[in-house]
């Protein structure tokens, strides 16, 4: 067998790929429904994931996340115009959701230097011309992040600038049937990668070497990239958010890991597990931490269901013991789609005006439910997380990846 071949794990079967045309038009329809709902005549999207959501067009996503060199114009009615990175126009020539492709005008100092104002002027004129042609009589437009001068010049042409994130995030939050197939395929890929990572854990391996196992597997399976570096070991597991480093694993260590994989089709696979290094038994303190995180996770998973308000979930959430409160994970759960997304449901949120937003879970939202347990006095920590689908009657677990039996006190 080819050692470089991707071998899907039979424990995590992926559904067939969805019809790509139905996927693209379904998302564009969702986006336009939300644009109409919130009163947006047109959007100009720069975020690479949102460009892909609206059109299915993917190109150099990590590069575009830091360079405004590619964007799309989406009117409520009329042609979708992709402004593509120069020289790449051929990539989406057959894309049925895109009516026209033009070379992008990059408005950034690194690309334009002393010609920045001229580029911003050209960009504003291009967008104003499209708005005049396809949104006559309208003076509002949603725009994502772009150089402030470009937005200023568009505003000087008489347009009210709105935040494009609002309709996009609301559209993304509720998945089409084709999107759900993409999410299941992405999670199958990530769980296969996580299984290979778990098999590779051994004393003497560095965190970075271990983390590379996941990279190799998910990229071979069609993933785009991994969004964070959240794999750490031993004393580096507490507090959370310590990035993967050079520390060498030792027998008896905990290894905590959050996948954060932007997987096949560009959909987020976001779940967490904590493992025990070596063949020995878990310590009492390790079992206590793990059991506590397991209890928190499953209590909060039981709160997910259609019609539940964010406030209702927050108020019914598992009460965090004082010793673990300082280092708690700041979110109870968050939306998952092309990346992490709306909604954020916060631990111990105060629902006063200007403090935290409320809302309601509806079917076909996908969420990741979070837990981190680490003592403020030090020692190791445990990170656990599950990804779920909100259904008509409750929720469906999307990440049936096993927990560490030795850390649950169930010796195998």
**Residues 338, 176 contacting (CB under 8 angstroms):** no
Range(s) of the chain covered by CATH 3.40.350.10: 20-172
Selected from 3.40.50.720, 3.60.150.10, 3.20.20.70, 3.40.350.10, the CATH number assigned to the domain covering 20-172 reads 3.40.350.10
Map tokens 């769980």 to a residue.
191
Range(s) of the chain covered by CATH 3.90.230.10: 174-397
End-to-end Cα spacing for the chain: 30
DSSP assignment letter at 394? S
Count of other CB atoms within 10 angstroms of residue 199: 9
Provide the residue-wise pLDDT of the chain in tens; the chain has 412 residues. 576 778 889 999 999 999 999 999 999 999 999 999 999 999 999 999 999 999 999 999 999 988 999 999 999 999 999 999 999 999 999 999 999 999 999 999 999 999 999 999 999 999 999 999 999 999 999 999 889 999 999 999 999 999 999 999 999 999 999 999 999 999 999 999 999 999 999 999 999 999 999 999 999 999 999 999 999 999 999 999 999 999 999 999 999 999 999 999 999 999 999 999 999 999 999 999 999 999 999 999 999 999 999 999 999 999 999 999 999 999 999 999 999 999 999 998 888 888 899 999 999 999 999 999 999 999 999 999 999 999 999 999 999 999 999 999 864 3
Q: Provide the CATH number for the domain formed by 174-397 in this structure.
A: 3.90.230.10
pTM of whole model > 0.85? yes
Distance CA 67, CA 106 (A): 8
**Residues 248, 174 contacting (CB under 8 angstroms):** no
Distance CA 241, CA 339 (A): 18
**Residues 339, 260 contacting (CB under 8 angstroms):** no
């Amino acid at each position: 067998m080819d050692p470089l071949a991707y071998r899907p794990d039979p424990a995590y079967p992926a559904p067939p790929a969805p019809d790509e045309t139905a996927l693209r038009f379904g998302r564009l329809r969702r986006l336009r429904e939300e644009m109409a709902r919130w009163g947006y005549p047109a959007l100009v999207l720069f975020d690479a994931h949102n460009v892909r959501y609206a059109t299915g067009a993917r190109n150099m996503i990590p590069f575009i996340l830091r360079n405004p060199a590619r964007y799309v114009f989406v009117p409520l009615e009329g042609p979708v115009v992709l402004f593509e990175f120069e020289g790449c126009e051929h990539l989406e020539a057959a894309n049925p959701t895109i009516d026209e492709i033009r070379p992008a005008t990059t408005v950034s100092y690194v690309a334009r230097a002393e010609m920045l104002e001229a580029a911003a002027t050209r960009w504003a004129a291009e967008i104003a011309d499209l708005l005049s042609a396809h949104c006559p009589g309208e003076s509002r437009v949603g725009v994502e992040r772009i150089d402030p001068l470009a937005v200023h010049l568009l505003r000087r042409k008489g347009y009210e600038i709105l935040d494009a994130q609002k309709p996009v995030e609301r559209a993304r939050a509720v998945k089409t049937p084709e999107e759900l197939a993409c999410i299941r395929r992405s999670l199958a890929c990530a769980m296969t990668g996580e299984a290979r990572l778990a098999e590779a854990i051994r004393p003497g391996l560095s965190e970075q070497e271990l983390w590379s196992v996941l990279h190799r597997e998910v990229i071979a399976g069609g993933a785009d990239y991994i969004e964070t570096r959240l794999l750490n070991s031993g004393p580096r597991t507490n507090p959370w958010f310590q990035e993967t480093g050079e520390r060498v694993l030792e027998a008896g260590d905990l290894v905590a890991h959050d996948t954060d994989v932007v997987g096949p089709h560009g959909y987020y696979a976001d779940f967490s597990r904590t493992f025990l290094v070596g063949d020995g038994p878990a310590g009492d303190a390790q079992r206590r931490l793990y059991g506590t995180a397991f209890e928190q996770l499953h209590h909060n998973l039981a709160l997910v269901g259609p019609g539940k308000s964010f406030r209702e979930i927050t108020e019914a959430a598992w009460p965090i013991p004082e010793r673990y409160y300082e280092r708690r994970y700041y979110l109870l759960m968050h939306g998952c789609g092309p990346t992490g997304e709306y909604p954020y449901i916060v631990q111990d949120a105060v629902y006063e005006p200007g403090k935290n937003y409320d809302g309601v879970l509806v079917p076909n939202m996908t969420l990741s439910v979070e837990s981190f347990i680490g003592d403020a006095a030090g020692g190791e920590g445990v990170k656990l997380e599950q990804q779920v689908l909100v259904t008509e009657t409750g929720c469906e677990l999307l990440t049936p990846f096993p927990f560490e039996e030795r850390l649950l006190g169930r010796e195998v």
